[in-house]
Amino acid sequence: MHRIEWQDLPAAARAAVERHTGPVERAETAPHGVMSRLACTIHTPAGQAFVKGVPEDDPQAWVYRHEAQVTRNAPRAPRVLWDVDSGGWRLYGYEHVQGRYPNLAPGSDDLPPLVDTLTVLSEAPWPETMRKKPLHERWAGFLPDDVPAGMQGRVLAHTDMSPHNMLVTLVGELLLLDWALACPAPAWADTALTIPRLISAGHTPAQGEEIARLVPAYSAADGDTVTIFARTIFAAWQEWEHTRPLPHRAALTDAARKWATWRESSSTVRTR
């Protein structure tokens, strides 16, 4: 998506933001992410905030409303500070978090905070006042017709476990950003979705599973259901590699293939 700079926003939109923040002295466009028309860190005399948004008439504007609602209910997420609707734009202000992207490679000191955050996520219920298609319906085209009961959970799942959606804070806590794809899902779903990321970072499938089983919800999950889920991830990502090509998709698809193949071939894989 083509990014717009802060200074290119309509004056009315910038003024509406500054009523919450004070005068913006400078702004830095975010280097990562593909969805937001505007995504930047603003600097004001009172501090910093992260601002994202789209034009009001953008077909994806509902995604940003949904993301802000979810983020207000999500653990290990930046706080939503304000939202404005002015100048033809819908803009959301988030707490600016000082941190860095985690290192998910074997032996990294960031792995324990990752496990801790995945454990906390697995215990957060979906806010039932919000309507959103659950994960097993989102991926219906890749699942068997008889969806296992274990796939039909109602935990608040992030579902996009890219390291670029994670920040390790100055106190060593791992937070998750960009909750736009959050939906109801099994308690173990985010942990399972992290395994291909670990494999892509250098872990073997067995090592990725060993880390995942440190999360109680994943350790307790039905093994056959998780294997179906692994096949589903691979099938979905393989199709998206061709229909929604992005530079990182090939490596992720290969990691998902390795995980699914390992689960299907290893007689020792049992998550309960």
pLDDT in tens, 33-73: 556 789 999 999 999 999 999 999 998 888 899 999 999 99
CA-based radius of gyration for the chain: 19
DSSP strands (E only) in the chain: 26-29, 38-44, 47-55, 80-86, 89-95, 99-100, 155-157, 166-169, 174-176, 183-185
Which long-range contacts link 266-271 to residues 24+ away (Cβ below 8 Å)? 266/206, 269/209, 269/223, 269/227, 270/223, 271/188, 271/213, 271/218, 271/219, 271/220, 271/221, 271/222, 271/223, 271/226
Q: At 272, is the pLDDT very low, low, confident or very high (cuts 50, 70, 90)?
A: very low
Q: At 245, is the pLDDT very low, low, confident or very high (cuts 50, 70, 90)?
A: confident
Nearest alpha carbon to residue 231 among 158, 153, 148 = 148
Q: What is the pLDDT of residues 139-176, one digit of tens each?
A: 999 988 888 999 999 999 999 999 999 999 999 999 99
Residue bearing tokens 């699914």: 260
User: How many CB atoms neighbour CB 212 within 10 A?
Assistant: 22
CB 49 within 8 A of CB 81: yes
Distance of CA 228 to the CA centre of its chain: 21
CB 271 within 8 A of CB 213: yes
Tokens of 184: 């109801």
Q: Pairing between strand 47-55 and 38-44? A: antiparallel
Which pTM was predicted? 0.91
CB 32 within 8 A of CB 39: no
